[in-house]
Structure 1
């Protein structure tokens, strides 16, 4: 049985029902005990980010072969426990790329116009994206459509990806100039942070790099807030060196009273809306559903193989 605990496109639902036994129970997202009780007969799950799948849950699901998530995040998914249990974690590959690219463009345009700078005449004025240098930190599926959109605006695009050598052909394919991370911060009028989070990148964007941002820089981040050192971010925003920042997700406690980022009015936070559009939800649902169908159709691996 496929247990679907997240609202899903009706066409995708019909496609799955025609191929597998399906139970649609979004109410289980709010009832962890009932969800655990349903797991023994489940071969595949489609769940929202609010539902946890950990080692304890996997012990209740001996038949489970795949866990699907329509969003790209890894919250509440114990990937190591899933790997040990032989459970495939299925997330959309590039279904949200166009949505994320458009969100970055929209956020940059708003900040450039909404947060004025002083020009040579002493006037407070907005800025244009055309002619700006835009730095991409981290290359993800959204980087390709984002680079195309930025090029159409007339922006100069530079980038930093720690896992990609400067001579790799991917840079020329994307038409993005590879630079060092410090060089990117020093040269960019606008920065888009999309770097996938790993523990080794914890607080990567701190005093060593963030403190060297170009004056009046604006930044939009789709990455985890753990990539940033909050004290340094608060300093560059609070002193006005960085004109504005827009985070599409941030740990709630980072905005609490007594924390460095509390009441900084040039910081805007949205609740993970970059990847969620009508179109991206449909693409993500089809991607996850087809890969679950494939996973359930594979013959079992013989014991001892």
Structure 2
């Protein structure tokens, strides 16, 4: 079976698949149009995010049996076309769920205790105690939207805090020892903190918009470590300015690019997020640890071998 890797990943993918008799090639630089010319002989493709697996690409890959994405999100794969052409789609959310959950917990504590802003102020020679009083988690309700691998991992880590954890998911009967399943309406009525762990789909695009922010019963903190376009930036900024959103921790942005140079000056709302002392922004690194790089790759290899190893 011939496999083509289109993004750099942990070397164990090539090592282990080759040892099992797979012919693994790599092409990290060719353009989309060039790949269309060479893809036909391959049985499998391993990707991250560089090349979109759209209908045209899948159609051209005439021998394709699977697309494996080293990661969780599948928005760069046309799932309808894959199903139509009989192409299996494999992902590896199990590989970085621990890293994502730890990052979310870290952002939560930094945000509610003003750790980042107060540490920066000390470096600048300011010793502001009253202005940097923290906000304890005890007694609060933490609302998770999306209770898949990431959401469950977050809930598990919250078990040591004296708060209530609830979640909303489109699938029923997912409640466990760590969280209670509720309707979205109930979550919006009770939550003091909202954390997003959802894919980007037509249904979740701009899930957090003006109606969502205004519909929250309480002033709340927002955490987004899923996809940037799950949140409408303009609505978030308006909520931060009027106090409905007490603070935001964002690992992803609606306007995400490889570099932020000059980007802030091009967008007034993004500039506000980057300058606000109520906002933490990290460069899409939730789930991006030394350990998760290996675990993501191992999960992909294990799934490929389980399905096609014989």
TM-score of the superposed pair, with normalisation by structure 2: 0.81
Against the structure 1 CA distance between its residues 50 and 268, is the aligned structure 2 distance closer, same or farther, given a 3 Å change threshold?
A: farther
Q: Pick from 185, 210, 213: which aligns with 2:188?
A: 185
Aligned to 1:41: 41
Aligned to 1:263: 272
Q: CA deviation at 1:216?
A: 5.0
Against the structure 1 CA distance between its residues 177 and 255, is the aligned structure 2 distance closer, same or farther, given a 3 Å change threshold?
A: farther
2:7–2:50 Cα contact (<8 Å) kept: no
Q: CA deviation at 1:184?
A: 2.4
1:4–1:22 Cα contact (<8 Å) kept: no
Q: CA deviation at 1:236?
A: 0.9
Q: Which 5+ residue runs of structure 1 have no aligned equivalent?
A: 117-121, 299-305
Structure 1, 236-245 or 215-224: larger mean CA deviation: 215-224
Cα displacement string for residues 244-283 of structure 1 (whole angstroms, at most 9, x for unaligned residues): 1122222217967456454232344333211222222222
Cα displacement string for residues 99-157 of structure 1 (whole angstroms, at most 9, x for unaligned residues): 111111011011011189xxxxx865112334432111121112233222111122221
Aligned to 1:13: 14
Structure 1 SS opposite 2:160: helix
2:12–2:297 Cα contact (<8 Å) kept: no
d(CA) in 2 for partners of 1:255 and 1:161? 34
d(CA) in 1 for partners of 2:73 and 2:82? 16
d(CA) in 2 for partners of 1:88 and 1:202? 25
Aligned to 1:198: 201
Q: Pick from 274, 291, 296: which aligns with 2:308?
A: 296
**What is the total number of aligned residue pairs between the two structures?**
287
Q: Pick from 281, 287, 302: which aligns with 1:275?
A: 287
- Counterpart check, 1:158 vs 2:166: yes
TM-score of the superposed pair, with normalisation by structure 1: 0.82
Structure 2 SS opposite 1:94: helix
Q: CA deviation at 1:220?
A: 0.7
- Counterpart check, 1:135 vs 2:138: no
Moved beyond 6 Å, runs of 4+: 253-256
2:75–2:200 Cα contact (<8 Å) kept: no
d(CA) in 2 for partners of 1:212 and 1:225? 20
d(CA) in 1 for partners of 2:112 and 2:146? 22
What does residue range 167-182 of structure 1 map to in structure 2 within 5 Å? 168=173, 170-171=174-175, 173-182=176-185
d(CA) in 2 for partners of 1:10 and 1:85? 30
- Counterpart check, 1:149 vs 2:152: no
Q: Which 5+ residue runs of structure 2 have no aligned equivalent?
A: 118-129, 257-262
Against the structure 1 CA distance between its residues 31 and 198, is the aligned structure 2 distance closer, same or farther, given a 3 Å change threshold?
A: closer
d(CA) in 1 for partners of 2:81 and 2:21? 26
Cα displacement string for residues 62-98 of structure 1 (whole angstroms, at most 9, x for unaligned residues): 1110111101122421111211111111111422211
Aligned to 2:298: 286
d(CA) in 1 for partners of 2:60 and 2:265? 37
Structure 1, 265-274 or 140-149: larger mean CA deviation: 265-274
Q: CA deviation at 1:192?
A: 0.9
1:49–1:75 Cα contact (<8 Å) kept: no
RMSD over aligned Cα atoms: 2.7
What does residue range 47-126 of structure 1 map to in structure 2 within 5 Å? 47-114=47-114, 124-126=132-134
d(CA) in 2 for partners of 1:137 and 1:111? 19
